[in-house]
Chain A
Amino acid sequence: MMVLSLVPRQGVSRVREIVTPLVAFVVALVIAALVLLAMGKSLKTAADVYVVEPLTTAWSLQEVILKATPLTLIAIGLIFAVRANRWNIGAEGQYVVGGMFGGWVAIAAHGMEGVWILPAMLIAGMAGGLVYGLIPAALRNRFGISEILSSLMLVYVAELALDYLVRGPWRDRTAFNFPKSVNFDAAATLGPLWEGGKLHGGVLLALLAVLGAVVLLGRSRFGFAVSATGEAPRAANFAGFNDHRLTLAVFAISGALAGLAGIIEVSANMGQLQPSISQGYGFTAIIVAFLGRLNPVGALVSALVLAILLIGSETAQIMLKLPFDMTRAFMGLLLLCILAGEALTRYKVRWNA
């Protein structure tokens, strides 16, 4: 522009690729610290609340892993979409529908016994997210509608549908007037992996998803088609990759994983359906995917980092009187820092010119 000008770099070093997100994270932290200072909050307390506490007790460490589980699952799915240059910003809605579908199985099977119930719930949750994710993909393929707008609009629709169900047909009639479903039976609850622990099978599923993504994206023809379509759509088309089918595929994957995250959260952590079942995981996962540089292992690490922050923000609401909005603002700031970091790995910035 008039003051900045960008000069492309010749090749980007491996070190720079790994260091960049770290620097972006630190810069965002420094800005946040300055804001906290300006608000007259104690930085020492903030450091305790946000970093030290979540990482020092066995109890809170498990909480961090639990929070990272839905974030990882959703972010892994989003990596497929973003790599193919498709924007699924409605993962939040697919998460909600996943919880809804899986929860429906639990409610329908209320009072029954059987080892089939839990797997059926997980499959129903994935199917729900998958179908809901296919809507924006199909609208894009058939009508050329921006998947950004349609997927986001569907978030509101999903939230309202869940709200209707738990206040209406699915309401627990014995729970006075509370808008909630029946409490799930033990057979419909993802229990802890070991006696007295907190980690459940969903954690393993998230790790499995990371592994699957590493293989699919790095070693398969499909993974190549995804990246090729994202980076050079015309060339990918000439190579015979079907653009429409790929759109459906990446939305199916990200929808299914978001749906799985939804039913895992509902079954393991809530044990019932309620009007609101997410804390914005679908949106936070977008930042997780970018912080992890669209790499599955990177996403796993980023999910853990942001989970620490989310746990900290719960304590901060009490200890520092900081509302959740502080965390949300930080997430936006972090995404901006990551994007700036990406730009600086690709270009040298010259002032003047």
Chain B
Amino acid sequence: MIELLPLILATVITAATPLVIAALGEHVVERSGVLNLGVEGMMIMGASLGFAGAVVLDNSYLGLAIGALAGMVMAGIFALFALGLATNQVATGLAITIFGLGLAGLIGQPFVGQPRPPIPALVFGLDPIVCLSFVLMVGTAWLLNRTRAGLILRGVGESHGSAHALGLPVLKVRLLAVLFGGLCAGLAGAYLSLIYTRFWSPGMTAGRGWIALALVVFAAGSVWRLVAGAYLFGAILIAQLHAQAGAIGIPSQFLSMLPYLMTIVALVVLSMAGRRGAGAAGSLGQPFVPDR
């Protein structure tokens, strides 16, 4: 059992990494005061286009980059509507998700069941993207809490009216945050298809984008709570897979429900700990139209 521990730990980290990356991206977006519910759509576009790119170009690293870019392009569409035209952010995010799920299915269709070019493990059996996710955690925490840029971003999210009055470029800051969120979601999706499952299958994100959104709520403003939550989820995902394989007498459907039920339970626990609505940016989800 003891000798298995590093292996189990590695699988948990692998399962959690797409959640970590996507949630970190959305965390930055929500800190800037924007609620992008399109994470699931951006993620699946990253999974589909990333896989297609890797197969066509015969290079999985390029595939990961293409996946990330695909997520960013979707985020750009979201920004055009939600920031440029001040459309309702909830509805726009939903549209991005529905659109992304459809388009990703279309693009991925010829690649169902195909193998992808190999990606070697780097250190301790961990792949390069896991290592990148560590950098991303530290980088995001540092940027948000220790730099002037982070202060501006949080200020814009807390009160866009005041930020605008101070002469801060509200929409520009939000655009950059949204694009970063898309990049992360796309990369998380590409990681899912290229490294985690190693296959493309339609609808493979299976609600992970929504779980990432819940993790951001759970984080209540702290990058480290977010990361801890994501790894906890990775552990649940792995435990559920093992339980299904081990045939412990619980019907597999109930085990498959666990991640979704745990998401709700986690939010309930957070609320009972007295942190109801804590940490959400003050202007979250409200469109901003600068007056002249």
Q: Interface residues, chain A, CB within 8 Å of chain B?
A: 1-2, 4-6, 8, 87, 89, 139, 143-146, 148-150, 152-154, 156-157, 160-161, 163-164, 167-168, 283, 286-287, 290, 323-333, 335-336, 339-340, 342-344, 347, 349, 353
Contact = CB atoms under 8 A, between A and B. Distances in A.
14 contacts: A87-B90, A139-B264, A145-B271, A149-B267, A152-B210, A153-B210, A153-B263, A325-B105, A329-B99, A332-B96, A332-B98, A343-B81, A343-B85, A344-B85
Interface string B237-278: 000000000000001011011001101100110011000110
A2 B254 CA distance: 50
Given A148-B37, A153-B260, A332-B102, A89 B253 contact: no
B289 A8 contact: yes
A117 B246 CA distance: 42
Contacts of B81: 336, 339-340, 343
B109 interface: yes
B207 interface: yes
The residue in B77, B109, B214 that gathers the most chain A C-beta atoms within 10 A of its C-beta is B214
A283 B261 CA distance: 21
B14 to A, nearest CB: 22
The residue in B81, B94, B109 that gathers the most chain A C-beta atoms within 10 A of its C-beta is B94
Contacts, number: 154
B100 interface: yes
B91 A335 contact: yes
B253 A164 contact: yes
B271 A144 contact: yes
Contact of B103 (A139, A163, A167, A325): A325
- What are the 5 closest A-B residue pairs judged by CB atoms, nearest first? A332-B99, A329-B102, A325-B105, A328-B102, A332-B98
Contacts of B260: 153-154, 156-157
A164 B106 contact: no
Interface string B191-231: 00000000000100011001001100100000000000000
Contacts of B207: 152-153, 156
Contacts of A154: 260, 264
Contacts of B171: 1-2
A340 B103 contact: no
B269 to A, nearest CB: 9
Contact of A160 (B95, B97, B172, B257): B257
A339 B88 contact: yes
Contacts of B104: 325
A242 B202 CA distance: 43
Contacts of A2: 171-172
A84 to B, nearest CB: 13
